[in-house]
Structure 1
Amino acid sequence: MSALRNVRILDLSERPAGEYCARLLADFGASVMKVERPGGSPTRDMAPRLGEHDTSALFAYLNAGKHSIELDLDSASGRDELHALLANADILVDDHDRDWLVDQGLCADDLAARHPNLVACSITPYGLDCPAEWLPADSLNVFHRSGWGYHTPGTAKPGQAPLPAAGRFLCDYEAALDAALCIVAAWVSRLDSGDGEFIDVAEHAVMVSRADTVLGRNLAGEEPASDARSAFEMGGPAASFRCRDGFLFLFMTTAQHWRALASLMDDPHWMREFPEDWLEYGITDARVETFRRHFATWVAERDKETVYLAGQKLGIPFAPLYHASDVYASAQLAHRGYFQALDDPQLGRARYPTQPARFSATPAHLRAPAPELAAHAGIAAVWKQTPPEQVPHDSREKVASKPGPNRGGPLSGVRVLELTKVWAGPYTGKLLALLGADVIKVESESKLDEMRAYGGTDINNAPYFLCLNPEVRSVQVNMKTPEGLEQLRALVAQSDIVLDNLRPGVMAGMGLDFAGLSQTRPDIVAVSIKMFGNDGPLGLQTGFAPSFAALGGLSLQVGYEGEPPTGMNMRYGDSTVGAWAAFAAVVGLAHARRSGEGQFVDVSAVECLATMIGDNLLAYDLTGDFAVSAGNRHPQMAPYGCYPCRESQWLSLAVSDDASFAALCGVLGAQDLAQDARFATLPDRQQHRAELDQAIASCTSTQDAETLAGDLRRAGVPAARSLSTRDMVQDDWLWQRGTYLPVQHADGRQRPVIAAPWQLARNPARNSHGAPDLGQHTAEVFSELLGMSRETLAELEQAGVLR
């Protein structure tokens, strides 16, 4: 059974963001009709192109499981055909600009009048109402305007250019994920209300949201914003080290890690000169340099896999930097069925990356390869003639009538019980809360979320925690006591979703694995986030975001040409895992609402990050090519990357064709470059890329990056200044759009947070509350949901049960 069976989706997208969003929904059983322009979607022409029919592997990846029709939407008849299809569709996915939507009659007001029950979603670089002067924009520009690019890598030497993200379309895939989350949430709401929605997702705002624990602290003034390239880093000895057969990422934060490493290395004398707690209280540049020098010598003589597995057995979160070949060879990913083989008539047999979560009742599945152009006109004719089948579902009235806050939004009335810590799990809860869910965070003073301790001694004003937990309610329950577990199960009975990212085995030890939870609530959706999932040969391993990126294949791709890989930076990964878990949760909720059946959703953090370079992995399986330390190279663009400007500024630039190159040369006043035979065509420019980059840099180095970027965009060349954290907190557009949002805390003070990266036209959630004090809502929740008296509350608190 599929979670989105009988759901009809029209996919008008022509970029990876929209096409991937629609594929995510197709994986769960939705019937997706790809509407293509005459001659086909532009992604059909994107590299790599393979086989005798010159087929795009990227198109194959983005459009598996879909149907295809061909429509000329520049004609009145084509637009009439489109609206006839929309009349019997459930969801529309699009990634064109505002003017195009207006011309097609597809803007929010038009759809509300003509197709009031349609859930429509637009995915664009900066949002539909962005300043016109910000366009055109490539994914590279979005990455650099969001703060991530300037700080990639965080270990850059003076004068080294910022690097792009791993893969080619990371920003597109991140935005697609949030779009899919909002679409399914809005569709669940529509089951009873019948009301459609218009969702505006900005890729830029999504990437800003993914940096909430960094930029959020800068925004609130709790940590100074900076122009330092290392501003996203965490400090300490974490780094990638060369082994005999590759690279190993080392991450250590505790005295326990230090003791385990000493044991692994046979207690070398130089380690005895370090205080045992230096990682927590005594980090200095000198100690970091000394450690790295000695460890580099030791590990250089060993194999990455041997050290990785030995370290993991001792609790050290080592992770090798995996090549695509390692990812495909992973016994853990094979156990989980992460890759699925498909036979494509043009490309042959290939192993596709699938979804990074296993669903016990409604698993994702690739049903067919990408369609041939216009192969499904017959299915489109059926769509026009018959409405989609209506499937019975549980009445939302019983959900909406439950006690608790009602802030609006598509998940209003949905209750989420959150048993998570640190970043990925709380970020999941944050996204669901921003869509209107009542998220109840279960805490205990005996075992605090580490984020309440980072950055200060006041657990109710810890900056990291404040960034991650707006609109969440906090209750204290001591889960170490039988009485506490009894009260927790009573909350489960009143909830729709349970989130956890506790260590493997902890939930089962408390009787709160899916078997135990479903005894209490048969339709519960239990979402578990682990490094590698909950079972399999590596299921007990643990790690942090850089570990996920290393094992997923991302870290090896990012680095300067001819140098060891650097990875993006320390902060990337946790929030991406959280977004995947949020999407998985609402997919599970959709099935529960339609069937009354709960399920277990097992999220693998490593697979979440591998999916961010899914097209690269598929291309490797087809060609054997996988870029390592790719610098600022791009297979279809030149010049491409970051170029120096005055006052240590950087300009991101993406030139895809000869016309854009001519326009670039015109703005730079460099007609000699336009007439140079070495740069006449894209293949020429790629062949002489080093000389071209040097020539472009000499033209940009004396100019102001912001001014030059504006001049280039007006000439039709995608460009943007690469922004630091200092620049990001001064970005007025993010305030205007509501991405930066002031909220009120329990003590009455106002503090800005990074809020939703989307806008809902008809039923947005009202978000105005900051993160809770520890146990702030214990009495409120237990009296409201369980009818507990004031006297009983006092007794349980006195007994240590509700602490």
Structure 2
Amino acid sequence: MTTQARPLEGIRVIDYSHFLAGPYLSRCLAAMGAEVIKIERPTEGDAGRHHPYFIEGQSGYFLQQNMGKKGLCVNLKDPRGRDMLEKLVATADVFVENYRPGALAKLGLGYEALSALNPGLVYCSVSAYGHTGPESHRAGFGLIAEAKSGIMAMVGSPGEAPPLLRIALGDMYTGIHGVAAINAALLGRVKSGRGQHIDLSLYDCLVSMHEYAGQCYTLSGGKIVPQQTGHDLPDSTLYGVFTARDGYLVIAAQVDAAWKRLALLVGGEAFAADTRFHTAAGRNANRLDALPVVRAWTEVRTVAECLEALDTIDVPCAKVQTIEDVVNDPQIQARGMVLRQHHPVLGDIELLNTPFRFSGCDTTIREAAPLMGQHNRQIAEELGFGASEIDAMMRDGVLYQEAAVADLKA
């Protein structure tokens, strides 16, 4: 039941980012109620607009990460465009960017310059390596951070090249750290009256994810370096992926009680009574004797048959689902994770939702991502520009909009 305003109602965010980490970050802020103004350069726009999947000239990639935002497409090389951005900064609470460190400072859009215009501004920078350190000058993407972080070296089968993760782990994880940091900085501003610069690195964020490998290495004095293990975890038996007749499933029976129930199911009383497997240490030490018994049980059954039997004895398990399975999963549907929006060009579309659930408000984004320059006139008017000034900027290309924007008023 909606009883409260969304937490960030009244907060204005300038999204001067592109592709993924920054846009995902600001999309989350929009879900929490912030007014997010997406800044794009004329004719090209955000690089994400040129990334598939495409439908009727619109990028699903862009639609997914920029929903709920207003679109301002402005040429900052023109003094009138620069003046507009400075006026906008003066009214903003948050500025998000994900350019290589130093790039925006050269344009007069770094933290020092913008905080001079607005001391309360929370300025969040996302980059591959951060703004300090010997590699801070280097460009990078999520793939680079995934390789550097040590995560990629632990996935896949032993002796084979690590696989691509196929999800933008570095970008998305860094983006959500940005959400947390920005909210903390806004709260801190209540006491201090001043904003601050948040410096987020994709590399740092992925390194911070090591809940196991890092402490194993440091506390063992460098003796333990987690390696590729394929389909299970040698230090957490039984916990892994198993083959069924028609697909794959995962089983998590690493806890003693769950193991005993599983052992009885797959191997009978004699297997369940084998004391070698009654402790975590024992199962790990004898995993090569335990795994074949479980595999033999799953391989002759369908995924559905395995899941039904495992659910009956309360052993955590799940099918390895495709995205088709996920989108149509009753649990995902019930949680509102697939949302429907109306797009001015595409009509009704379905995209994936953010995961935030607040008891007092609805954070579902109803507004589709903006067309390029869709809100130029509205934002310019709010900043005090007159109709003749706006018309001139539109005519001169200082403000740019894609052709479909004009059709909205037709």
- Aligned partner of residue 661 in structure 1, secondary structure: helix
Alpha-carbon distance, 1:791 to partner: 1.7
Of the three residues 343, 347, 363, the one matched with 1:745 is: 343
Alpha-carbon distance, 1:415 to partner: 0.6
Shift in alpha-carbon separation, 1:712–1:461, aligned structure 2, 3 A:
same
Aligned to 2:374: 776
Alpha-carbon distance, 1:633 to partner: 4.3
Shift in alpha-carbon separation, 1:456–1:434, aligned structure 2, 3 A:
closer
Q: Would the aligned equivalents of 1:446 and 1:478 in 2 still touch at CA under 8 Å?
A: no
Q: How high is the TM-score relative to the length of structure 2?
A: 0.90
The letter of the residue matching 1:579 is I
Alpha-carbon distance, 1:588 to partner: 1.3
Alpha-carbon distance, 1:610 to partner: 0.7
Shift in alpha-carbon separation, 1:655–1:441, aligned structure 2, 3 A:
same
Q: Would the aligned equivalents of 2:189 and 2:195 in 1 still touch at CA under 8 Å?
A: yes
Alpha-carbon distance, 1:620 to partner: 1.6
Q: Would the aligned equivalents of 1:428 and 1:581 in 2 still touch at CA under 8 Å?
A: yes
Is 1:651 matched up with 2:249? yes
Of the three residues 47, 50, 64, the one matched with 1:453 is: 50
- Aligned partner of residue 650 in structure 1, secondary structure: strand
Give, in whole Å, the separation in 2 of the partners of 1:486 and 1:764: 36
Q: Would the aligned equivalents of 1:532 and 1:604 in 2 still touch at CA under 8 Å?
A: yes
Of the three residues 542, 545, 548, the one matched with 2:145 is: 548
Of the three residues 66, 70, 79, the one matched with 1:482 is: 79
The letter of the residue matching 1:419 is Y
Deviations 1:550-605 (A, max 9, x none): 11221111122344443634633211111111211111111122221111111111
Aligned to 1:660: 258
Alignment of 1:207-606 (within 5 A): 408-455=5-52, 461-566=58-163, 568-569=165-166, 571-606=168-203
Q: Would the aligned equivalents of 1:531 and 1:543 in 2 still touch at CA under 8 Å?
A: yes
Give, in whole Å, the separation in 2 of the partners of 1:692 and 1:562: 23
Q: Would the aligned equivalents of 1:556 and 1:567 in 2 still touch at CA under 8 Å?
A: no
Aligned to 2:225: 626
Give, in whole Å, the separation in 2 of the partners of 1:526 and 1:414: 13
Aligned to 2:298: 700
Q: Would the aligned equivalents of 1:638 and 1:686 in 2 still touch at CA under 8 Å?
A: yes
Alignment of 1:72-151 (within 5 A): none
- Aligned partner of residue 670 in structure 1, secondary structure: helix
Higher alpha-carbon deviation: 582-591 or 569-578: 569-578
- Aligned partner of residue 744 in structure 1, secondary structure: strand
- Aligned partner of residue 751 in structure 1, secondary structure: strand
- Aligned partner of residue 717 in structure 1, secondary structure: coil
Q: Would the aligned equivalents of 1:527 and 1:600 in 2 still touch at CA under 8 Å?
A: yes
Q: Would the aligned equivalents of 1:422 and 1:451 in 2 still touch at CA under 8 Å?
A: yes
The letter of the residue matching 2:252 is A
- Aligned partner of residue 643 in structure 1, secondary structure: strand
The letter of the residue matching 1:740 is V
Alpha-carbon distance, 1:672 to partner: 4.0
Q: Would the aligned equivalents of 2:267 and 2:293 in 1 still touch at CA under 8 Å?
A: no
Q: Would the aligned equivalents of 2:53 and 2:61 in 1 still touch at CA under 8 Å?
A: no
Aligned to 2:239: 640
Of the three residues 375, 382, 390, the one matched with 1:793 is: 390
Give, in whole Å, the separation in 2 of the partners of 1:760 and 1:436: 12
Shift in alpha-carbon separation, 1:598–1:681, aligned structure 2, 3 A:
closer
Higher alpha-carbon deviation: 557-566 or 600-609: 557-566
Deviations 1:431-480 (A, max 9, x none): 11111111100012344212111227779611111111110111111122
Of the three residues 613, 625, 644, the one matched with 2:210 is: 613
Is 1:731 matched up with 2:354? no
Q: Would the aligned equivalents of 2:45 and 2:73 in 1 still touch at CA under 8 Å?
A: no
Aligned to 2:355: 757
Q: Would the aligned equivalents of 1:507 and 1:513 in 2 still touch at CA under 8 Å?
A: yes
The letter of the residue matching 2:227 is V
Shift in alpha-carbon separation, 1:552–1:577, aligned structure 2, 3 A:
same
Alpha-carbon distance, 1:669 to partner: 5.7
Alignment of 1:31-46 (within 5 A): none
Q: Would the aligned equivalents of 2:81 and 2:399 in 1 still touch at CA under 8 Å?
A: yes
Shift in alpha-carbon separation, 1:693–1:415, aligned structure 2, 3 A:
same
Shift in alpha-carbon separation, 1:780–1:759, aligned structure 2, 3 A:
same
- Aligned partner of residue 716 in structure 1, secondary structure: coil
Aligned to 1:274: none
- Aligned partner of residue 72 in structure 2, secondary structure: strand
Deviations 1:19-72 (A, max 9, x none): xxxxxxxxxxxxxxxxxxxxxxxxxxxxxxxxxxxxxxxxxxxxxxxxxxxxxx
Deviations 1:341-372 (A, max 9, x none): xxxxxxxxxxxxxxxxxxxxxxxxxxxxxxxx
Give, in whole Å, the separation in 1 of the partners of 2:359 and 2:91: 30
Aligned to 1:337: none
Unaligned runs of 5+ in 2: 401-410
The letter of the residue matching 1:659 is A
Shift in alpha-carbon separation, 1:507–1:552, aligned structure 2, 3 A:
same
Q: Would the aligned equivalents of 1:645 and 1:651 in 2 still touch at CA under 8 Å?
A: yes
Is 1:767 matched up with 2:365? yes
Q: Would the aligned equivalents of 2:234 and 2:287 in 1 still touch at CA under 8 Å?
A: no
Alpha-carbon distance, 1:655 to partner: 1.4
Q: Would the aligned equivalents of 1:422 and 1:449 in 2 still touch at CA under 8 Å?
A: yes
Aligned to 1:687: 285
Alpha-carbon distance, 1:528 to partner: 0.5
Give, in whole Å, the separation in 1 of the partners of 2:67 and 2:57: 13
Aligned to 1:222: none
* CA-atom RMSD in angstroms: 2.3
Give, in whole Å, the separation in 2 of the partners of 1:728 and 1:499: 31
Number of aligned residue pairs: give it.
397
Aligned to 1:402: none
The letter of the residue matching 1:732 is P
Unaligned runs of 5+ in 1: 1-108, 110-194, 198-407
Deviations 1:694-721 (A, max 9, x none): 2211101122223422432332211111
Give, in whole Å, the separation in 1 of the partners of 2:28 and 2:21: 11
Give, in whole Å, the separation in 2 of the partners of 1:772 and 1:752: 16
Alpha-carbon distance, 1:416 to partner: 0.4
Shift in alpha-carbon separation, 1:553–1:457, aligned structure 2, 3 A:
closer
Shift in alpha-carbon separation, 1:437–1:778, aligned structure 2, 3 A:
same
Shift in alpha-carbon separation, 1:669–1:629, aligned structure 2, 3 A:
closer
- Aligned partner of residue 511 in structure 1, secondary structure: coil
Q: How high is the TM-score relative to the length of structure 1?
A: 0.47
Q: Would the aligned equivalents of 1:434 and 1:755 in 2 still touch at CA under 8 Å?
A: no
Higher alpha-carbon deviation: 623-632 or 510-519: 623-632
